[in-house]
Amino acid sequence: MHWSTGTAPHSDIAQPTATVVVGDEGKLVFSPSYLNASIGTTISFNFLALNHTLTQSRFQDPCVSNGGFDSGFHQFNPSNISGKFVVEYKVTSDNPQWFFCAQIAPRAHCKAGMVFSLNPRGLQSQFLFQAMAKTTSATPSHEQSSGLPTLSTVPIVSVAPPMANRTVPLPTDVRPTASLPVFSSIGNSVVASRAMMWSLSIVIAML
C-alpha cells in the first residue's frame, strides 16, 4: 500500500528520493532519525512491525500534534514485511519540520525517543532530548532538592554535658549560720568549770 501527500508534476527530470524505515528491527525508532532534504524530495516511510504513525508536531512540543500531516494508525504490519505499508511525503519547504509517533500503547513511543525531523539545522539532538524529557517533568520545580538537609529532615539530639563540666547552683535560700550549738555548749562548760575551781581555791585559802 502506498500513500502520497501530493502528485508530483510531470517532468522528465528525476526527483530526489529518500527512504526512512519506521520501527526498524522492532525498535521504537525512525531510521534515520532525521534528513536534510531539498524542496521536491519524496521521502518514502516504510512501516514495519508494530502500529506506528508519522505525525507532525512543533519543536517546543515534540509529542503533541500541531494539526499538520498525520499518517494515522493504519500501518499495522505484524509480519514485518518491508514495502507492505509505505507513506510518501513530499518536501515542500526547506524549513525545519518535526514529526513523532503518536502511538501510546503499551507505552508512549514519542517519549521513548521515536521522533523524526526534516532539515533540523543541528537541533535534532535537542528535539530528541525534549521528547524524552517529558517523562520526567512530573516533579514540580519547587520540590527539587538542593541537596542540603532541611530542619524537617535533620534529627535534633540533646546531649547532656559530662558531670565534671557541670555547675550545680546552690539553693537561693541557703544562708551562713552561726557556730553550731555543740561548740557553744562546750565553751560555756569550760568557762564555768574554771570559775568553780577559782571559787574553791579562794574558800580553801580562807580556812
Residue 49 lies in a domain: yes
Q: Is residue 114 part of a domain?
A: yes
Q: Is residue 102 part of a domain?
A: yes
Tally the domains of the chain. Answer: 1
Q: Is residue 162 one of the residues assigned to a domain?
A: no
Classify residue 45: in a domain, yes or no: yes
Does 206 fall in a domain?
Answer: no
Residue at 142 is within a domain: no
Convert the pLDDT of each residue in 113-168 to its tens digit: 999 999 999 999 999 999 998 654 433 333 333 333 333 333 444 444 455 555 55
Query: Domain for residue 42, yes or no?
Result: yes
CB atoms within 10 A of CB 119: 18
- CATH code for the domain in which residue 42 is found: 2.60.40.420
pLDDT for the residue 77: 80
Which tens digits make up the pLDDT trace of 170-194? 555 545 554 444 444 445 555 556 6
Separation between Cα atoms, residue 177 and residue 111, nearest integer Å: 89
Range(s) of the domain holding residue 95 = 2-6+17-136
Tell me: cis bond preceding 176? Omega within 30 of 0 counts: no
> What confidence score (pLDDT) does residue 167 get?
55
For the chain, report the end-to-end CA distance as a whole number of angstroms. Answer: 164
